[in-house]
Structures are given as structure tokens and as C-alpha cells.
Amino acid sequence: MALTSLTSLNSLTSTFAKVEYIIKTMAKYIKQEMPDLNGTGEKKCYYRLAKSRNISTKEFLNIIARHEMLNVGILEHALCGIADNLAELLAEGYSIKLDGIGTFQATLGVKETKEMDTIDGDEQKRNAKSIEVQNVRYVSDKDLVKEVNIKCKLSRAGVARVNRSPYTKEERLKLLQNYLSDAAHPFIRVAEYAALVELPRSSAGKELRSFSKNHANGIASSGRRPAVVYVRRTEG
């Protein structure tokens, strides 16, 4: 009887340990409402992972060391070597594919103070000094996505709704036009427009881009992202 009780207790303890592990490692997802920028009245949504804390390099390497029985110092040295050689090879124009992780490739752009060339223009506005590496593009390996999906245990965290502006789209456009008509406001940034019409910043940015595409609205964009601003459109 005592042996049976002990066996049951051990089994129960093991079960609780497994449940505790699942709870600790379970990712949460949010059902996110999408902004209705076109005023159709249709409520669409998408799913996103709830934000969790960042894992530092040190913590990440310690996790690997425990799981793989490796020395943390050796892992740190290897990671530094990967980062250094990745930068060097990307700078030489190579794309780097790491099996199970993904592919890395450098992307170029014109320096912020320089003007972009036209594809058919005869003038040579740009030289190598005007162009720079502006980002490193990463495309995840399909095997990595598959492995994450297998290991991912999801639980619902709730619903996130869009903060709706008290103004209609037409009223927001009028507020924007009036704002830019004031000599004290030669331009408006996305954050300023978001505050003006009480929209989330992402929705405000999308709406400003939409307004600027229609010349009849009298709104134009100036500069390049992330420093783009919006101004009154001048004819000619």
C-alpha cells in the first residue's frame, strides 16, 4: 500500500512538473483588430504573438550550454567569430545561408543627404561614396519555421481593438489641411498627425500615405522614411 502511494505521488509530481513546464513555455497570442482606413465598416483581424521579454546574448548562450553540455566561453568565442565573419562576407557581396537558421544579405541605399538617380537619366549623380549598406535582410529557413511551429504551444491572451478616432476620415483630412494651412506648421510628422486626429501611430502613417497619393487632397510627402514629413502640395 505504501509502495503504491509512493508510486502515485511520484507520478503526480512528474505530471505537475510537466504541466508547470508547459505553462512556463506556452506562448500567448492576441487577436488584433485591423484599422478600417477605407471606412468600409468591415472589421478584420489578424493574430500576433503577445510581447514577451527579450533574452540577452548571455542568457541565450547559458541556455545552449545547459542543453548541449558545452562551455559558455567557447560558445561566446564562436558567436563573436560568426558575427565578425558574417559582416566581412556580407560586405564582400555574398549572401550567407545557415542551415536551420536562414539567409542573410546586405541591402544598399542612397545616403540620406544625396539625391536618387533616375533609371533613364544621362546624368551621373551617384558614385560609390553616395551609396551605403542600409540594412541586412534576413529570410528565415523553412526548417526553422517548421520547428518553431512544432514546438510552439499557444494560449489565448485576449483581444486588442483599434483605438478609434472620434473624427471621420473626411473630418481628419480637413483637420490636416487646416493644420498645414497655418504658416506656423509648414509640415507635419506622423506622430503629430496621430495626436491631432487621435489615431494610433501606425494607422496615422498609413492614412497620411493614402492622402498623399491623391493629388486632389493637396497633401504631399517630403523626405525619406523614417524621417518623412507631410506638407501642402504645390502645383507645378
Band the pLDDT of 114: cuts 50, 70, 90.
low
pLDDT greater than 80 at residue 135: yes
Q: Which residue has the higher pLDDT, 176 or 227?
A: 176
Q: Which string of b and e fits 108-144 if b means at least 16 CB within 10 Å? A: eebeeeeeeeeeeeeeeeeeeeeeeeeeeeeeeeeee
- Residue 34 burial (CB count, 10 A): 12
pLDDT tens for residues 10-59?
444 444 444 444 445 678 999 988 877 666 777 888 899 988 888 999 99
pLDDT greater than 50 at residue 129: yes
pLDDT tens for residues 137-152?
999 999 999 999 999 9
The pLDDT of 144-171, averaged and rounded, is: 87
Query: Following DSSP, what letter does each residue of 60-111 receive, concatenated?
Result: HHHHHHHHHT--HHHHHHHHHHHHHHHHHHHHTT--EEETTTEEEEEEEEE-
All domains of the chain, ordered by start, with CATH? 21-160 (4.10.520.10), 169-232 (1.10.10.10)
The pLDDT of 60-73, averaged and rounded, is: 93
The whole-number pLDDT of residue 13 equals: 44
